[in-house]
Structure 1
Amino acid sequence: MKPEEIREVFMRSAKDLLDYDEEGRGPANVAVRVESYELVGKNSILLSLEENIDDTLGAYLYVGDFLVLDKDVVSYSFYDRNTKTLGATIDNPGIIGMIAAEHPEMTVEFDLSFLIKNARDYYDEHGTLIGYPDTCPCFPEEDIVFPAKFSPSDQQRNAVRTILNSKLSYVWGAPGTGKTQMVLATAIMAYMRRGKRVAIIAPTNNSVEQVLRGVLGVIGSDEGFRRMVDPAKDIARIGTATEQFVEDYPYLCEGQSISMLISKRRKEIKLLKEIIQERELDVIASHFRALEVLAKERKQPADRKAKRDMDNQIDQLISEINAVLEENSLYSDLARDLTSMNFEHQLEAATQRLYQRDRPKNSIP
Structure 2
Amino acid sequence: MNNLTQDSHDFLIESAQNYYDYLVENNLGYDEIKIQSISKTIFGLQLTLYSKLFSLEGLVLRFLDEEFPISENLSIQTSFYDEKHKILSLEIEESLKNQLFEKKNEIRLFSDLKFLVKNILDFYLSLKPLHFPTTLPRISPDIQALKDLENPPHQEQLEALEGIFSKSFCYVWGVAGSGKTKMVLLHALAFYLKSNLKVAILAPTNNALEQSLNTLIESLNNIGIDTSCILRLGTPTQTFAQRFPQNCDPLLNNKPNYKKAIQKSLLIAATLDTFLRRDELYELPFAHFFIDEAAFCPLIKVIPLCMFNKPITLLGDHKQLQPICLLNKQDSNNPKWQISKFWQYSSLFLESFFRHQTNFFKANPTTQINSPNYPFYTLTYTHRYGDNLAKLLDFYIYKNNLKGLPNHTNLFCHFIQTTSQENNANLDEANACCYLAKRFLQEKKNFAILTPFVNQRKLILQKMPALRNEECVFTIHSSQGQEFDCVIFSPVTLNYYLNDSRNPQALFALNVALSRAKKEIIIVCDKNYWLNQKGQFLNALIQISKPFSLSQT
Q: TM-score range by the shorter chain?
A: 0.3 to 0.5
TM-score by length of 2: 0.33
Higher helix proportion (structure 1 or 2):
1
Which of 1 and 2 has greater Rg?
Answer: 1
Bigger strand fraction = 2
The normalised TM-score by structure 1 is: 0.47
